[in-house]
């Protein structure tokens, strides 16, 4: 990665490669167009307006969110056709109803008869249709989350096929019972390598693909070069008595996700395959070589290491601002929404 502008940032800093974001987004758009399936991108990884614009190709329509805070954030900024993909929370019924009044289309998920009772008591705006008791079934939603245990294309596609077949069979049963509605499945691994039958679905809803991360590269959703995010971290200490470096990225800068998953610790340290991010405190990372003794002259105090996150959703969540660049030239900042 070229570093001209980036080296001026105060660290730890989350940096986003805009070209890779656009490439990842465009590939998913084209993949879905080719299948003839609606793409409803998930916002939970980044939670920013700018990235949502890229993922929806500027339409600001047809998105998924994981929190009601995200739903309000996007609604307030002109987004619409928002699916709140979360087991309908009973403490948020009024806020859901209020949001539905603001939007042309706001959809919620139900997975329990009690939730249906709650929704009947306080229907959304689009609900009241004759004979539906204020609630209308729009579709069937499945996550396909078991792709996250896969390694490689073959396994991903086996799970994608299994989930797709399950959902299509279920849709068939619904049709036999006189119910017609949409089908939607998600997960970045399956949508990065879709199987042919996914073309029979109405919609897919992946999210992480816009950033990708080390986890996705291990699963086989992408290659490491596709990962659009890094955490820049400065060397702040030399600990020759422990054969370690201290860096200024602790768990507050990259999260604790990925513990025990990588031979390189909590991240991949770009360009330094022999370095391991061994452990962290709130604001410190301990880095040691996988083998041999550290040559401290290679890592002077103030020099930078570039961490590729294990799980970009978890890492992005730790940062109040993302620094956007193109080929190392800083372009600006994106500010995510937070909370629930």
Strands (DSSP E) contained in 91-205 are 106-109, 139-142, 182-185, 203-204
Residue 276 within binding range of a copy of itself, rule CB under 8 A: no
Residue 137 within binding range of a copy of itself, rule CB under 8 A: no
Q: Which one of residues 77, 78, 331, 340 is an interface residue with a copy of itself (CB under 8 A)?
A: 340
Distances (CA, A) of 217 to 26, 37, 39, 268: 18, 25, 22, 11
Cα dihedral 45, 51, 54, 58 in deg (nearest 10): 120
Site size with a copy of itself, rule: CB under 8 A? 52
Q: Which one of residues 68, 201, 204, 294 is an interface residue with a copy of itself (CB under 8 A)?
A: 68
Q: Which of residues 111-130 bind a copy of itself (CB under 8 A)?
A: 111-112, 114-115, 118
What does the alpha-carbon distance between residue 100 and residue 81 come to, in Å, rounded to a whole number?
Answer: 10
* 233 touches 249 (CB < 8 A): yes
Residue 266 within binding range of a copy of itself, rule CB under 8 A: no
Closest distance between a copy of itself and the C-beta of residue 29, in Å? 24
Residue 174 within binding range of a copy of itself, rule CB under 8 A: no
On the CB side of 73, CA atoms within 13 Å amount to 23
Stretch binding a copy of itself (CB under 8 A), from 23-31, 198-206, 255-263, 267-275:
255-263
* 336 touches 312 (CB < 8 A): no
Closest distance between a copy of itself and the C-beta of residue 26, in Å? 25
Number of H helices, E strands in the chain: 10, 16
Rg of the chain's alpha carbons, rounded to an integer? 22
Closest distance between a copy of itself and the C-beta of residue 241, in Å? 13
Per-residue DSSP letter, 320: S
Q: Which one of residues 126, 146, 252, 326 is an interface residue with a copy of itself (CB under 8 A)?
A: 252
Minimal CA–CA distance to 47: which of 15, 82, 73, 19?
A: 73
Residue 318 within binding range of a copy of itself, rule CB under 8 A: yes
Q: Which residues of the shown chain bind a copy of itself in the complex (CB under 8 A)? A: 9-13, 44, 66-68, 86-92, 95, 111-112, 114-115, 118, 145, 234, 236-238, 246, 248, 251-253, 255-257, 259, 281-283, 300-302, 313-314, 317-321, 338-340
């Amino acid at each position: 990665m070229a570093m001209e502008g980036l080296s001026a940032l105060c660290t730890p800093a989350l940096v986003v490669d805009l070209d890779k974001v656009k490439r990842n987004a465009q590939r998913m758009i084209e993949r879905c167009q080719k299948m003839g399936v609606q793409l409803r991108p998930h916002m939970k990884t980044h939670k920013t307006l700018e990235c949502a614009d890229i993922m929806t190709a500027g339409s600001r329509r047809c998105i998924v969110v994981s929190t009601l805070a995200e739903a309000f954030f996007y609604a307030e900024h002109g987004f619409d056709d928002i699916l709140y993909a979360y087991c309908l929370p009973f403490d948020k019924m009024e806020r859901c109803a209020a949001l539905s009044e603001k939007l042309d289309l706001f959809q919620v998920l139900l997975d329990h008869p009690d939730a249906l009772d709650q929704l009947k008591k306080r229907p959304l705006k689009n609900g009241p249709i004759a004979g539906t008791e204020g609630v209308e079934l729009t579709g069937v939603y499945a996550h396909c989350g078991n792709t996250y245990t896969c390694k490689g294309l073959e396994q991903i596609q086996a799970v994608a096929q299994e989930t797709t077949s399950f959902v299509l069979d279920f849709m068939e049963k619904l049709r036999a019972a006189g119910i017609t509605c949409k089908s939607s499945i998600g997960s970045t691994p399956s949508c990065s390598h879709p199987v042919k039958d996914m073309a029979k679905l109405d919609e897919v809803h992946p999210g992480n693909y816009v950033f990708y991360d080390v986890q996705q590269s291990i699963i086989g959703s992408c290659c490491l070069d596709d990962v659009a995010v890094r955490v820049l971290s400065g060397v702040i200490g030399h600990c020759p008595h422990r054969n370690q470096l201290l860096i200024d990225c602790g768990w507050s800068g990259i999260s604790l996700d990925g513990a025990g998953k990588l031979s390189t610790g909590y991240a991949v340290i770009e360009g330094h395959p022999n370095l391991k991010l061994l452990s962290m405190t709130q604001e410190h990372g301990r880095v040691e070589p996988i083998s041999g003794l550290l040559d401290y002259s290679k890592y002077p105090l103030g020099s930078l290491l570039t961490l590729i996150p294990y799980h970009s959703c978890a890492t992005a969540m730790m940062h109040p601002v993302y620094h956007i660049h193109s080929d190392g030239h800083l372009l600006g900042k994106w500010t995510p929404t937070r909370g629930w």
